[in-house]
Structure 1
Amino acid sequence: MSLKTSRRRLIKAGGLAATGLALSGWPLLKKARAAERPNFLFILTDDQRHDALSAAGHPFLRTPNIDWLAKTGARFTNAFVTTSLCSPSRASFLTGQYAHRHGVLNNLTPWNEQNTTFLELMKKSGYYTGFIGKWHMPGKGLPDLAGQGKVDEFISFTAVAGQGVYWNCPLVRNGRSMKKDGYISEVLNGLAIDFLRQARGRNFCLCLSHKAAHAPFQAPEAYRGIYDQEDLRLPPEYLAHGLNFKFCAPHSSSGILRRGTMEDEYRRYCETLKALDDSLARVFEELAKLKLLEQTVIIFAGDNGYLWGEHKLVDKRFAYEESIRIPLLVRAPGIVSSPGQNIDRMVLNIDLAPTLLELAGLPVPGEMQGASFRPLLEGKNVPWRKSFLYEYPYDPPYALPGLLAVRTETMKLVKYEKNKLPDELYDIENDPRELSSLSSNPAHADRKRQLQTELERLALEAGLPRNSALGRILED
């Protein structure tokens, strides 16, 4: 469906998709033959927080195509990033490593050519591989992944320091300029369809990395204003006190920091996500036409969460739940034990690479720090993490200090570089919105000490250098 479609046709198409795309003849999960290696399609969105889809109960945003993955696969309800920032998180997805290990510490840090991605390992094993979309680890232009033989197709953009633009974005394909006018989500999905057609008859692994929905939020004209009458249900702390401008990211291009405009920006954000969801139908329909749905594992995730007024903030970076939790949906024919299930174990972005490699029957390199969540998809009761390390290196000119955090199934401890902000301790089980820090409460001193010990253990296990700025937080 073209994004030039009229609003009436968009609503009609959305209504059909809302019933579950299997109505168009798309099959549910069937048992794939054990001898076949699966194909892989990894779809990554930008700044889409964990509840910004209808499958997660959003009050008005309808995402039937993304929801179809949850209905015919599995949705992880406790999926997190280890650094809530675009470039470090994207590198963690690709490498299976923490930011302090792969070296992409902020949105301006160049990609380390010594890093190994799951795409490179898949290609070595015979997969036809591709990366299409937002790379955003700038350095001096884009890495020559295709020229170096690390992928077969590498299509990205360098505009706006790698952020790209929503309309008529200049592209680079395998080191050469490429012109594809149109709306960026539609363009990238069209290029993904081209890739799928080229791959037919070969096992493939494609990373489809979207710009949407990063600020400044823009959707095609047919979507503009569709949520103007919706009750946004914004957090009471924002409604009562507005934004804390000291710690809000300076999105001057989008106008978020002009007091009173956050409501409009949030509506534009939802419009952008809706346009993306509608456009994704083309990709799924192409897989069906090519008779590849039952041989393809589809993974959908966001690169980080986003605060929309919670704690009087608009941004990511922070260790709050809205910032670090992401959507993660997996459709894996013959692997997901109960299609439509929710899985509540804590999984991380660094788990993606080892999971894909295991599903492909490939060894997982020792330098990968995540764990394959294949057993969770299969419904197996296996030992799993009870806590994880979150890190955010100081990223000037933003005001937020560097921080470390440990998050368990019920608690969270946050510590800041050089004690620039007070420690924060939250009982997530009883205070899920993290409104009341217990850090200075003597009644919780033992719990805080236990979490401090766990934070130190996790940092040691992850190889965080003790002489780094983040490592020194453990000494304060």
Structure 2
Amino acid sequence: MEEINLAERKLSRRQTLKVIGGSLALCAADFTFASSIWGAQKKPNIVFILSDDHRWDAMSNMGHPFIKTPHLDRLANEGVRFTNNFAAVPLCSPSRGCFLTGQYAHRHGVKNNYTPWNDKNVTFLEHLRNAGYKNAFFGKWHMPGKLPDLLGKAVDQFVTFTASGGQGLYFDCPLIINGTVTPRKGKYLTEDLTDLALEFIRREKDGPFCVYLAHKAPHQPFSPPPELKKLYADADVSRTLPPEYHAWIHQKEGSIYYGVLGSVGEKYLDYHRVITAMDQQIGRILNELDKLGIADNTIVVYVSDNGYFWGEKELIDKRYPYEEATRIPLIVRYPSNIKNPGRSSGELTLSIDLAPTLLQLAGLPVPGAMQGLSLVPVLADKNIRLRDSIHMEYFKDFPYNVPEWDAVRTDRFLYVQYQGQKGPELFDIQKDPRTLHNIIDTPEGKSILPSMQNMIKDILRKKANG
């Protein structure tokens, strides 16, 4: 685990035995839960649903004032909702690389939206396919360079798009289906990708299969389908937009790149309309799994690549190390094996954790090159702490004026070190969840700062070694 350096701590004999005992208990929990899966007649199917820019609190199961997401709510009620889940990098392309490889961006190499994907990277899809899975990738690839060499190596069907610089179009988006550009006139992208995913699921219903469904939604320009254009028209956005929001926030430096020129309040409503449209398509998948009789043996994962600012700290978009950009939804449902479904977990988890989790649930070994931790003990409802802290990072992404940074986040504190002239920041998340008050120069901050600096020093040393 990269986030904690026990070697630099002075432990008593009792503390040492406690650490060793905890590690052994973690291994035992992993083995016990995985054994029940490996003993099953069939390996589990997997449906991995990835959205774009969906912040963690924009769901009705999170108590949002007006959005309705009944199918994500159903997933949460039937699975485990992770309420402290974070993007290892709060930016589209590198975050996608993290999900696929189980590695940080500094290792898989896609550091920003302009760094090409390296086909030498090994994805969890390849490991599944080598174990007999039929795999399909549908949707947003959005990593620079030529399209990856996935077909026949990691997937049996590869459907993506390159329109609008790889961002895709909500309407009439041409799809590249197994290498062939195919017009899709009259199609709404979220529904179109779901249609194709459902066709694959029906064809491969005998399993095991893995569907990787990467939506454009709810990324800007936040275009809902026609039937939802007036949804939430009566919503009072003042109840959810932050106090520092103002009508001219879209004119701040750099906002022209964020796709929110004009009425931010109306675009905010469209953002939630697009999420509800996506939720409807998730409902279609859940219903089809029920209809086919394979829901109990199918793992469904819902997660996003990063969050989104809607005026907090007078910011729009993502990239910064604050909760609005880094904290992302994560729900995992696996009816036949999750213990005590319907619960929430506050464990600190990361985007790099999904690849090792899915491999372990499939009964496969987790490669040593993966840097994430398996979430299997949490799914098994074991009273075991996964980690004490997480590391997040960000690399310069032209033309955005956001400095590179590394951050360490514990249950209570967030510490950020920037490159360049911007000074370090320290926040008490429990007292200041909106990270408005940098306490680095306060007595409380000075007392906690050395331990946070030691953590990040250890992280940066490991990062330098790859």
Q: Same fold (TM over 0.5)?
A: yes
Q: Deviations over 1:84-107 (max 9, x none)?
A: 001111110010000010011111
Q: 1:415 to 1:249 in 2, by over 3 A?
A: farther
> How far does residue 336 in structure 1 lie from its aligned partner after superposition?
1.6
Q: Secondary structure at the match of 1:161?
A: helix
Query: 3-state SS of the aligned residue for 1:330?
Result: strand
2:200 aligns with one of 190, 195, 211: 195
Distance 2:385 2:278 in 1: 36
Counterpart selection for 2:167 from 160, 163, 168: 163
Q: Is the counterpart of residue 449 in structure 1 residue 445 in structure 2?
A: no
Pick the aligned partner of 2:216 from 205, 211, 220: 211
CA-based RMSD: 1.7
Distance 1:76 1:383 in 2: 14
Q: What do the CA deviations read for 1:199-237 (whole angstroms, capped 9, x no partner)?
A: 122200111110001101101111112122211121001
Deviation of the 1:57 alpha carbon? 0.9
Q: CA deviation at 1:38?
A: 0.7
Structure 1 match to 2:243: 236
Counterpart residue type for residue 200 of structure 1: K
State whether residues 247 and 400 of structure 1, in contact with CA within 8 Å, keep that contact through their aligned partners in structure 2: no
Whether 1:55 aligns to 2:57 is: no
Q: 1:375 aligns with which of 374, 377, 393?
A: 377
Cα distance in 2, alignment partners of residues 244 and 405 from structure 1 = 28
Q: Which runs of 5+ in 2 are unaligned?
A: 1-35
2:316 to 314, 317, 323: 314
Task: Give the counterpart of 2:50 among 40, 44, 47.
Answer: 44
1:353 to 331, 352, 355: 355
Cα deviations across residues 277-305 of structure 1 (Å, max 9, x unaligned)?
11222211111121110110100001101
Larger RCO of the pair (alpha carbons < 8 Å, separation 6+): 2
Residue identity opposite 2:191 in structure 1: E
Decide whether the 8 Å contact of 1:138 with 1:161 is kept in 2.
no
Match of 2:189 among 162, 181, 184: 184
Tell me the SS of whatever aligns to 1:130. Answer: strand
For 2:49, the aligned partner's letter is I
Asked whether the equivalents of residues 243 and 312 of structure 1 are also in contact (C-alpha less than 8 Å), the reply is: no
Pick closer, same or farther for the CA change 1:309–1:184 going to 2, 3 Å. Answer: same
Task: Please identify, of 168-177 and 295-304, the stretch whose mean Cα deviation from structure 2 is larger.
Answer: 168-177
- Going from structure 1 to structure 2, the CA distance change for 1:249 and 1:442 (only over 3 Å counts) comes to farther
SS at match of 1:205: strand
1:333 aligns with 2:335: yes
Structure 1 residue 37, shift from structure 2 partner: 1.2
In the alignment of these two chains, the number of paired residues is: 427
Post-superposition CA distance 1:95-126 (Å, at most 9, x none): 00000100111112221100000101100000
2:133 is equivalent to residue 131 of structure 1: no
Larger proportion of helix:
2
TM-score scaled to structure 2, two decimals? 0.88
1:175 match: 179
8 Å CA contact 1:81–1:325 kept in 2: the answer is yes
Instruction: Map residues 249-260 of structure 1 onto 2, 5 A cutoff.
Output: 250-251=257-258, 254=259, 256-258=260-262
Distance 1:447-1:335 versus aligned 2 partners, 3 A rule: same
User: In structure 1, what is the equivalent of residue 108 of structure 2?
Assistant: 102
In structure 2, distance between residues paired with 1:242 and 1:172: 37
Q: What secondary structure sits across from 1:160 in the alignment?
A: helix
Per-residue CA deviation, residues 152-174 of structure 1 (Å, 9 max, x unaligned), is 11110011111000011111112
Residues 387-446 of structure 1, C-alpha deviations (whole Å, 9 max, x = no match): 11110001111011111111111001111112x212111000111111111122244213
Aligned to 2:408: 406
Contact 1:355 1:371 in 2 (8 A): yes
Matches within 5 A, 1:1-40: 34-40=40-46
Match in the other structure for 1:10: none
- Paired AA for residue 53 in structure 1: M
- The one of 370, 387, 394 aligned to 2:396: 394
Question: 1:249·1:398 contact (CA, 8 Å) conserved in 2?
Answer: no
What's the secondary structure of 2:403's corresponding residue? Answer: coil
